Structure 1
Amino acid sequence: MTTDAVAHNTDTVGNARADARSQGGQTSPHMPYLPASSSPHVPAGVDPAELTWAETVAPGGYTHRVLARGTRLRLDDPTGDANAHVLLFNALEPWERLNTADTVKIPWQAYLGAGHPLLSGDGRALATIVGDTSGRHDALFGTTTDAANLARYSDARPEGPAPSGRALFVKAAAKHGLGPRDLPPSVSFFQGVRVGVDGAAEWLGSVGPGGSVTLVAELPLIVLIANVAHPLDPRAEYRVGELRVHAWRGEPTLPGAPLFDASPESRRAYLNTLDYAEARGL
């Protein structure tokens, strides 16, 4: 009998089962909350019973989920160091995915904020930002790569001290039958970037602890999130804080809503989305 077996009392099937069950109540500060209503961080004004997803994502961690159309997705930065890199896919036809070029082109705005639709390359709104207390986001520079992290931090392993966003997205995508070539450039929330008239990028960082962003899913979505340092973060050390995620049922953006008619371009995107949804009985 090995020392490990003695320590954990797993020398027989019965003892192994008892040992496994004895650990069933253990928790971690970074984990999904099941049921979601058990989250200790329910956003103000949200009925815990309405939650469909609640999770605290570790620094350097990732998560993923399928969300129904109309779902509200709220991201919270409790420390001021979270950086939620986000990818969105049409859950019904995942070859339709976030297109950052159209996301900044259609609203005529390079900087994400409340009212900004997140568009696919098919001219449809996958999601819309409906709440924002941070204002520090990025739709231009994507996430970190293994090569960049190796050069800067000497490590890029998903399980290491400085995981790249790309590596974590690959792991998250695999859970939904998607591969590396399915991953487009991402948007990120809570660490801002601005581009000067000379084309130089300025990293702004966060507004400090307490920022939040709320999205509404305009179609059924596959959501991938990597909570990693921003590629333009100038700090020498790998810095990222925990990220809180909550989701609950709601309604998508429909005709008559102010956002639906915010501009001719956004109206067309929402009409395209509505046409697609109605054709599929959503």
Structure 2
Amino acid sequence: MSAKQEVIFSDTLPGAAHWSMVVPKGRTVRFKDLEGGANLSVLFYNPANPLERYNAPDTLKCQHTFKLTEGNCLYSDMGRIFCSIVRDDTGWIDTVCGVANKKKVSDKWGERDYQTERNQWKQNGYDALLVEVAKYGLGKRDLAANLNLFSKVSTDEAGNLNYDPQHSKADDCIELRFEMDTLVVMTTCPHPLNPAEAYPYQPVEVTVFESEPMLENDTCLNHRDENARGFENNRRYTTSTQQGFDTSSHHHHHC
């Protein structure tokens, strides 16, 4: 973020929290791991038509990769680009492990409930995302495979998944530049493979600012030929909705 880019909004999500916001096209969101070892599970939807959502298989397949990092774009199931990863201090974003459910969390860290524990209860990522998407009329069927920012899971020769507990350091940032209006749903619940003895409560700072204009030599645009096509799909979509052809636009409050 350069000095001339004003911060539009900033907030800190504590550990085991969930939140969502509609980010307009032309804004960039910076996520910062404040203490190190954070996990931020995120999902993306089109606020004008929530049936359009982040598609992990397409995103990985068309960019020929297992992990995501700077230069990659995040695709919807309509072949459009929700956002581009313009900065990733961690060098690896987990795309395959999803979120932990209630059973997994209680098996690992013991049963806790909100009534007795209040803010120190052990929320799980699955229920956290479910609570959040419900605010937009979405449910279990709408939870697609999510990204886990600040988490790295690699595979060994035998195909075993290896979680790296030292992956993200304090003040590591990941920046997403939004290429279309996007509903972003997120939770700071721990990664399903986190081996920590105690339930980890790692906060993440969320900051929104105006994007820099995209130049012709943009890393994300030129990362793969497929990305250029994705941006072209966005351009066509934006043009048609601006012409008033889109009948499905609902009003949402923008952040």
TM-score band by shorter chain is: 0.7 to 0.9
Q: Which residue of 23, 28, 33 maps to 1:72?
A: 28
How far off is 1:252 after superposition?
Answer: 7.0
Q: Deviations over 1:234-275 (max 9, x none)?
A: 222211311100011226757663432332222222211221
Match of 1:237 in 2: 198
Preserved contact between residue 85 and residue 220 of structure 2 (Cα < 8 Å): no
Higher Cα Rg, which structure: 1
Preserved contact between residue 130 and residue 140 of structure 2 (Cα < 8 Å): yes
CA distance in 2, matches of 1:100, 1:185: 6
Q: Deviations over 1:25-58 (max 9, x none)?
A: xxxxxxxxxxxxxxxxxxx63557x333211001
How far off is 1:155 after superposition?
Answer: 3.0
What aligned pairs does 1:39-54 form with structure 2 within 5 A after superposition?
45-46=2-3, 50-54=6-10
SS at match of 1:76: strand
CA distance in 2, matches of 1:92, 1:157: 35
Match of 2:178 in 1: 217
Match of 1:161 in 2: 121
Query: Number of matched residues?
Result: 238
TM-score by length of 2: 0.86
Preserved contact between residue 81 and residue 240 of structure 1 (Cα < 8 Å): no
RMSD of aligned alpha carbons: 2.1
Match of 1:226 in 2: 187
Q: Deviations over 1:176-203 (max 9, x none)?
A: 2222221111101112111123211111
What aligned pairs does 1:104-183 form with structure 2 within 5 A after superposition?
104-155=60-111, 161-183=121-143
CA distance in 2, matches of 1:280, 1:254: 24
Preserved contact between residue 115 and residue 129 of structure 1 (Cα < 8 Å): yes
Instruction: In structure 1, list runs of 5 or more residues that go unmatched.
Output: 1-43
Preserved contact between residue 59 and residue 241 of structure 1 (Cα < 8 Å): yes
Work out whether 1:274 is the aligned partner of 2:230. no
Work out whether 1:96 is the aligned partner of 2:57. no
TM-score by length of 1: 0.78
Q: Deviations over 1:103-162 (max 9, x none)?
A: 211110111110111111111111110011122420010111112112222337576522
Match of 1:186 in 2: 146
Going from structure 1 to structure 2, the CA distance change for 1:156 and 1:73 (only over 3 Å counts) comes to farther
Moved more, 178-187 or 225-234: 178-187
SS at match of 2:100: coil
SS at match of 1:94: strand
Preserved contact between residue 192 and residue 203 of structure 1 (Cα < 8 Å): yes
CA distance in 1, matches of 2:82, 2:224: 17
Match of 2:12 in 1: 56
If asked which structure has higher relative contact order (CA below 8 Å, sep 6+), I would say 2
Going from structure 1 to structure 2, the CA distance change for 1:252 and 1:225 (only over 3 Å counts) comes to farther
SS at match of 1:271: helix
Going from structure 1 to structure 2, the CA distance change for 1:120 and 1:184 (only over 3 Å counts) comes to same
Q: Look up the equivalent residue of 2:131 and give its one-letter code.
A: K
Instruction: In structure 2, list runs of 5 or more residues that go unmatched.
Output: 244-255
Q: Which residue of 203, 210, 226 maps to 1:249?
A: 210
Match of 1:208 in 2: 169
Preserved contact between residue 100 and residue 126 of structure 2 (Cα < 8 Å): yes
How far off is 1:64 after superposition?
Answer: 0.8
Going from structure 1 to structure 2, the CA distance change for 1:46 and 1:187 (only over 3 Å counts) comes to farther
